[in-house]
């Protein structure tokens, strides 16, 4: 059985939610934990320095909030829905980070 929007209230589509959450996790992980291709992300973090931007790039949880915001604005239809998606995308990204992190 394929789940479509008719089975869920509002604009919620589970597969889209899961795919967007994976994208938020991937982008956040790339920016906060990896050096990137040709060390481009490393250079970006070094350029950000020790200030607010540098601290933002060092904190996965903080960064996931800002990475998830445009996705929430894109997928939500009402203001409360956009806020809910914003927290949900960031929350699932944080859970994925905990699950994939080194113990």
Tell me: pLDDT of 7 over 60. Answer: no
| 44 within domain boundaries | yes
pTM of the model: 0.82
- 60-81 pLDDT, tens digit per residue, is 999 999 999 999 999 988 899 9
| 2 within domain boundaries | no
| 73 within domain boundaries | yes
Question: Mean pLDDT across the stretch 26-53?
Answer: 88
Distance CA 40, CA 5 (A): 39
Q: What percent of the chain has pLDDT over 70?
A: 87
| 87 within domain boundaries | yes
Grade residue 1 by pLDDT with cuts at 50, 70 and 90.
very low
- Cα of 91 vs its chain's centroid, Å: 8
| 85 within domain boundaries | yes
How much is the pLDDT for 13?
83
Highest mean pLDDT among 53-57, 62-66, 99-103: 62-66
Question: Mean pLDDT across the stretch 80-85?
Answer: 93
Contact 62, 56 (CB under 8 A): yes
Question: Mean pLDDT across the stretch 11-39?
Answer: 90
Domain that holds residue 46: 13-97
């Amino acid at each position: 059985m394929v789940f479509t929007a008719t089975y869920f209230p509002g604009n919620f589509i589970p597969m889209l939610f899961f795919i967007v959450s994976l994208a938020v996790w991937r982008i956040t992980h790339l920016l906060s934990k990896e050096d990137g291709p040709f060390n481009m992300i490393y250079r970006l973090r070094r350029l950000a320095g020790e200030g607010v931007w540098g601290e933002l790039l060092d904190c996965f949880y903080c960064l996931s909030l800002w990475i998830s915001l445009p996705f929430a604005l894109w997928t939500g239809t009402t203001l409360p829905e956009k806020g809910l998606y914003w927290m949900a995308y960031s929350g699932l990204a944080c859970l994925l980070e905990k699950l994939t992190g080194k113990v």
